[in-house]
Amino acid sequence: MHRPPLWQRLSCTAVPVFVILPLIAQAWTDGGWPLAWTVLGTVVLVALLVHSWQLRVVTGPGVVVVNWFRTHRLDWREVKRFTAESGGVEVELVDGRSIGVAVFATTVGASSWLVRRNERAAEQLQRARRRHRDNARPGRSR
């Protein structure tokens, strides 16, 4: 399974939680509509945080890319290569399409450590693709 390290996922969860806590406390004392909007915002934030922990790439008999709104289940024969572009890691398919990998997404001008993280992730995924391709050749024992 390929996803960011635990410390990164925890920090990306803790920061929004610590930001929302004072807002909840203030809305609790104000009551009324501020409380209702804060509760609604908190529910949405928690849903996003929970779903963000589900984003990943799983390699095995095939490739499973779990993104925000869609899960892609791919056969290795469909995958041409994995690349780290300016927008993050992408799966290039043999039919010419590309699938972005949400768990390793960045924006143009992202921090250099994020770019390096994505390059490492793309290389690890590329190694998994090569390893599977080599094992799937006729005449090879599995």
Kindly tell me if the per-residue pLDDT of 62 is higher than 70.
yes
Q: Are residues 70 and 94 located together in one domain of the fold?
A: yes
Same domain assignment for residues 20 and 72: no
| 70 and 107 assigned to the same domain | yes
Whether 100 is in a domain gets the answer: yes
Residue 140 lies in a domain: no
Tell me: do 127 and 64 sit in the same domain: yes
Write the CA distances from 120 to 4, 25, 28, 34, 114, integer angstroms. Answer: 11, 41, 45, 44, 10
Answer yes or no: do 99 and 117 share one domain: yes
Q: Which of 35, 52, 69 is the last residue of a domain?
A: 52
For residue range 97-108, what is the model confidence (pLDDT) as tens digits? 999 999 988 777
Q: Are residues 64 and 128 in the same domain?
A: yes
**pLDDT value of position 34:** 82
Regarding whether 110 and 48 lie in a shared domain, the answer is no
Tens digits of per-residue pLDDT, 39-57? 898 889 888 888 888 899 9
Domain encompassing residue 14: 6-52
pLDDT in tens, 75-87: 999 999 999 987 7
Q: Residue 67: pLDDT band by 50, 70, 90 thresholds?
A: very high
